[in-house]
Amino acid sequence: MSELLKNIIRFILLILLQVFVLNKVMLHGFATPYLYLIFILLLPFGTPTWALMIYALLFGLCLDLFMNTPGMHAAACVVIAYLRPFVLNLLSPQGGFETVKKTPSVTSMGWTPFMTYAIILVVVHHIVYFSLEFFDLHNILLLLVRILLSALVSLVLIVLYEMLFAPSRR
């Protein structure tokens, strides 16, 4: 299957999964998992930054359409799309990642770099999204608790996603 088709399917399925399943989940009144941002994490290595940001914008706006959060998910997605190349650069070994595998994943990067990459972007995304949702700082403790717990749950789901769907090394 071509990468383009794969990403289109992932785009649609992740939005439906997020809107109809994960948004209904709330653990202990604090943590809602946001798995959808794995779409941006898994875009191919070679995608130019401007294209990453346009995809992130479209993806975020589609989510906002369903969730009545105009601009919030879009802003958070665009921020991590912009940061993605920098983070990948920092983590890439000398000579870059194996280019045979075209997308970032556990198999193409290895567990430690991939998890560092995911943790940085998930935390940044959650900070941007929850700050926009709260929009004031007088409840900063609740804000931090929500960011940390939600990021934790989202990361667990990302690991599960990777274990299920990551291309196996041959």
**Site residues, another protein (CB under 8 A):** 16, 19-20, 23-26, 28-30, 32, 49-50, 53-54, 57, 60-61, 64-72, 74-75, 78-79, 82, 132-134, 142
* Closer by beta carbon to another protein, 142 or else 156: 142
| Other Cβ atoms within 10 Å of 3 Cβ, number | 14
Distance CA 61, CA 167 (A): 29
Determine how many CB atoms are found less than 10 A away from the CB of residue 19.
16
For another protein, the closer CB: 69 or 107 = 69
Is 166 buried (19+), middle (13-18) or exposed (0-12) by CB count in 10 A?
middle
Q: Tokens for 9, please give them.
A: 């399917």
- The three-class DSSP label of residue 61 is helix
Which residues, listed in sequence order, are joined to residue 68 by a DSSP beta bridge?
A: none
Minimum distance of another protein from residue 62's CB (angstroms): 9
Closest CB 6 distance from another protein, rounded Å: 22
CA 80 to centroid of chain Cα atoms: 8
Rounded to a whole number of angstroms, the minimum distance from the CB of residue 154 to another protein is: 14
- Nearest to another protein of 54, 93 (CB atom): 54
49/112 with CB nearer another protein: 49
Minimum Å gap between C-beta 153 and another protein is: 12
